Amino acid sequence: MSEVNIQVWAVDALGALAHETRLGVFRMLVTAGPDGLTAGVIAERCAVPPSTMSHHLATLERAGLVRSERESRQIHYRTDFEGMRRLLAFLMQDCCQGSPEMCADLLGVIPCPA
C-alpha cells in the first residue's frame, strides 16, 4: 500500500473509532480475543438496538478493524488484529526519530496480563 493510500486508510480507521459506541465495541472485541463475539451479544452488552449495532459493526469492518463471519443464523465478529497492527504501526512510524530509547518502554505501559 502506498504512503498516500495508507494515510487515507488510517483516516478512515480513526474515523471509525471516533465514536463512543464503535470505540467501545472495538475494545470489547480486542478483549474477547480471537474467539470474538456474536452481533447479538455485542448489541446486548452495549445496550444498543441490533439494527444500530449492525451499522456500527459494518463501519468498523469497512475500516479494516474487525472481520465478520456468518455462522448459521448469527454473524460472528472478531478483531482484525492485522488491521489493528497496521494502524498502530502507522501512528508510531516516526515516533523514535532515530532514537529508539524514546519508544523503548511503550509496550511496558500496556497492561497485558499473562
Is 114 inside any structural domain? no
Q: Please give the residue range of the domain that contains residue 76.
A: 3-109
Is 97 inside any structural domain? yes
Is 13 inside any structural domain? yes
Is 94 inside any structural domain? yes
Is 11 inside any structural domain? yes
* pLDDT tens figures, 60-90: 999 999 999 998 899 999 999 999 999 988 8
d(CA 32, CA 15): 22
Find the CATH number of the domain harbouring 84. 1.10.10.10
| pTM for the whole structure | 0.85
* pLDDT tens figures, 20-36: 999 999 999 999 999 99
Question: What is the number of domains present in the chain?
Answer: 1
Is 104 inside any structural domain? yes
53: cell is 449495532
- Judge whether 69 and 78 are in contact, CB under 8 Å: yes
- Judge whether 79 and 29 are in contact, CB under 8 Å: yes
Question: 110 CB contacts (<8 Å, ≥6 apart)?
Answer: none
86: cell is 497496521
